[in-house]
Amino acid sequence: MIVTRKTLPRRTFLRGVGAALALPMLDAMTPALSGIGAVRAAEPVRRLGWVYLPNGMAMESWTPPPATALELSPTLSPLSEYRDRMVVLSGLAQGQAEALGDGNGEHTRATATWLNGVHPKETEGADVRAGMTADQIAAAQLGRTTPLPSLELAIDRDFLVGNCENGYSCIYMNTIAWRDPTTPLPMENNPRVVFERLFGEGGSTAERHAQFRKDRSILDAITDDLARLRREVGAGDRARVTQYLDAVRAIERRIQLSEQSDTELPELARPVGIPESYPEHVGLMFDLTALAWQADITRVFTFMLGRELNGRAYPEIGIPESHHGISHHRYDPLKLAQLAKINTYHVTLFRGFLETLASTPDGDGSLLDHSLLLYGASLSDSNKHLHYDLPLMMVGGGGGHLKGGRHLQYPRDTPMTNLLVSQLDKAGVRLGDGLGDSTGRLRELARLADV
């Protein structure tokens, strides 16, 4: 028997006037085969992400008990549903974030070294220098066939310039992504801009803004193409497309509501499209990332949940004091408890992203099954600005290459870059000259023959 059903290209767009919308993986994109009528499952793509936390951790609340089998700590307890897809790593360090003769600047070096293991040049000018980061190494390979090689996201604005900390340029704290040693990448914090980058097509930025202000959805522009697609695919694909488009429309609506807010603003107007609420802002950025992965617009992202030294308060969880101020707790039990509460709150917001990935079909599994996320900070004990025993965890299936439910403990000063090399390896990303101060892969995370 010959299977004659029509096959859609993996890179399929619905198009209309001034709009193009990529589709998620559908059954109709699986090649039809001759023979017994069976259809071979499409090889799932692998995706990588990095989520950065500022101002260190309350380590006693973060660190699991020393057993190899993972027992969730209080801070990590919101992720109990994903324990079997989690690996917490203790003992890793970013030695290149130490002063090494440059004096103070711990927060700056924490940010600049997190994904490259390269000591940054101390300068207040534009002649910054660090190292190409793991995400950009991944983007150069995984992003060859996607519309966007990578996505760089943040919550705080990156407008700071000049000297932000003891002779270091603010540029170092504004981003964790470096395309090469002298090219830091801007992190985008405006959901509207992110949405247009993902789904807009053609025209200048001003023209695209004008188009969106017409109070119509991008989906309205692709009605004819959408009707044709629904006639050509099966019932399962129609349901999947509907679910995907509903998610796109919901995000559009949330952005529009944020723009229409009539709340009295200070003299410096809030950037258009940024929600007032921190959890809504974080959730919207995570939802946009999930959509970008679902449509295979990009396979690599970085996301800063906050900038080092930021003074954000968290009144929504009963903490009106500055995050950075609390992080210098001097081991006061009350402040340590507040810091642990902030850390746990961030984990709770991250859980929402995992829930979305786990519930989004992708090939023969979910987006979470085929992704590998690194979540953590570049300071451990923030009161002492420690760059060793960093709080780090990996989450996801890694396309079947991550054995979860483990707490891996390493000798102090084991390079964190060894973890980054191992993470890239699991996604099939080839390294030429290593990464920063890496000395190799972490043996327990080498390509798994034991999964």
Q: Per residue in 338-360, pLDDT tens?
A: 999 999 999 999 999 999 999 99
Give the model's confidence band at 322: pLDDT under 50 very low, under 70 low, under 90 confident, else very high: very high
259: left (phi over 0), alpha (psi -120 to 50) or beta: alpha
Q: Give me the residue label for tokens 């964790």.
A: 176
Please check whether residues 82 and 23 belong to one and the same domain: no
8-state DSSP, 368? T
Across 15-29, 242-256, 363-377, least confident range: 15-29
Of 134, 136, 135, 112, nearest to 123 by C-alpha is: 112
Of 40, 45, 77, 10, nearest to 369 by C-alpha is: 45
Please check whether residues 314 and 426 belong to one and the same domain: yes
Q: Specify the pLDDT at position 166.
A: 84
Beta-sheet strands, E only, within 132-202: 151-154, 163-165, 168-169, 178-180, 183-184
Helix 134-142 / helix 416-426 crossing angle, nearest 10 deg: 10
Taking a C-beta distance cutoff of 8 angstroms, is the pair 244, 24 a contact? Answer: yes
Please check whether residues 170 and 252 belong to one and the same domain: no
Please check whether residues 65 and 170 belong to one and the same domain: yes
What integer best gives the mean pLDDT of the chain? Answer: 84
> CA-to-CA distance for 417 and 132, rounded, in angstroms?
12
> Of residues 253 and 26, which shows the higher confidence score?
26
Residue 110: both structure tokens together: 């924490």
Please check whether residues 266 and 358 belong to one and the same domain: no
> CA-to-CA distance for 258 and 278, rounded, in angstroms?
12
Please check whether residues 52 and 163 belong to one and the same domain: yes
Q: What is the mean pLDDT of residues 261-276?
A: 50
> CA-to-CA distance for 20 and 211, rounded, in angstroms?
13
**Contacts for 372 with CB less than 8 Å, ≥ 6 apart:** 46, 47, 48, 49, 394, 395, 396, 397, 398, 399, 401, 402, 423, 426, 427
> Of residues 434 and 247, which shows the higher confidence score?
434
Q: Specify the pLDDT at position 38.
A: 38
Please check whether residues 135 and 12 belong to one and the same domain: no
pLDDT by residue (tens digit) across 149-163? Answer: 999 999 998 766 667
> CA-to-CA distance for 168 and 187, rounded, in angstroms?
18
Q: Specify the pLDDT at position 387.
A: 97
- Sign of the dihedral defined by the CA atoms of residues 412, 415, 419, 425, in that order: negative
Please check whether residues 301 and 264 belong to one and the same domain: no
Residue 451 within a domain? no
Of 184, 46, 205, 66, nearest to 120 by C-alpha is: 184
Residue 392 within a domain? yes
Of 383, 378, 386, nearest to 419 by C-alpha is: 378
Across 71-80, 124-133, 246-255, 301-310, least confident range: 246-255
pLDDT by residue (tens digit) across 403-420? Answer: 999 999 999 999 999 999
8-state DSSP, 380? S
Torsion of CA 125, 129, 133, 137, to 10 degrees: 120
Tell me if residue 140 falls in helix, strand or coil: helix
8-state DSSP, 84? G
Please check whether residues 39 and 53 belong to one and the same domain: no
> CA-to-CA distance for 254 and 275, rounded, in angstroms?
9
The residues that bridge with 409 in the sheet, in sequence order, are 90
Residue 353: both structure tokens together: 């992203």
Q: Specify the pLDDT at position 126.
A: 87
Number of structural domains (the chain) is: 2
> To the nearest whole percent, how much of the chain has pLDDT over 70?
78
Q: What is the mean pLDDT of residues 410-433?
A: 93
Q: Which of 212, 242, 273 is the last residue of a domain?
A: 273
CATH number at residue 404: 3.40.720
> CA-to-CA distance for 440 and 381, rounded, in angstroms?
26
Q: Rounded to 5 degrees, what angle do the CA atoms 299, 404, 72 make? A: 110
Q: Specify the pLDDT at position 447.
A: 52
Please check whether residues 417 and 343 belong to one and the same domain: yes
Residue 266 has pLDDT above 60, yes or no: no
Tell me if residue 108 falls in helix, strand or coil: helix
8-state DSSP, 166? T
Please check whether residues 28 and 61 belong to one and the same domain: no
Residue 450 within a domain? no
- Strands 13-16 vs 19-22: parallel, antiparallel or unpaired: antiparallel
Q: Specify the pLDDT at position 404.
A: 96
Q: Which of 244, 273, 302 is the last residue of a domain?
A: 273
**From the CB of residue 59, how many other CB atoms can be counted at a distance below 10 Å?**
22
**From the CB of residue 348, how many other CB atoms can be counted at a distance below 10 Å?**
15
pLDDT by residue (tens digit) across 355-403? Answer: 999 999 988 899 999 999 999 999 999 999 999 999 999 999 998 999 9
Q: Which of 218, 243, 273 is the last residue of a domain?
A: 273
Q: What is the mean pLDDT of residues 267-292?
A: 79
Please check whether residues 100 and 239 belong to one and the same domain: no
> Of residues 262 and 396, which shows the higher confidence score?
396
pLDDT by residue (tens digit) across 37-50? Answer: 333 445 678 999 99
Q: What is the mean pLDDT of residues 219-225?
A: 69
Residue 114 within a domain? yes
Burial of 35-45, coded b for 16+ CB within 10 Å and e otherwise, reads: eeeeeeebebb
> Of residues 220 and 299, which shows the higher confidence score?
299
> CA-to-CA distance for 341 and 300, rounded, in angstroms?
29
Residue 414 within a domain? yes
| Domain, as residue range, for 24 | 1-43+197-273
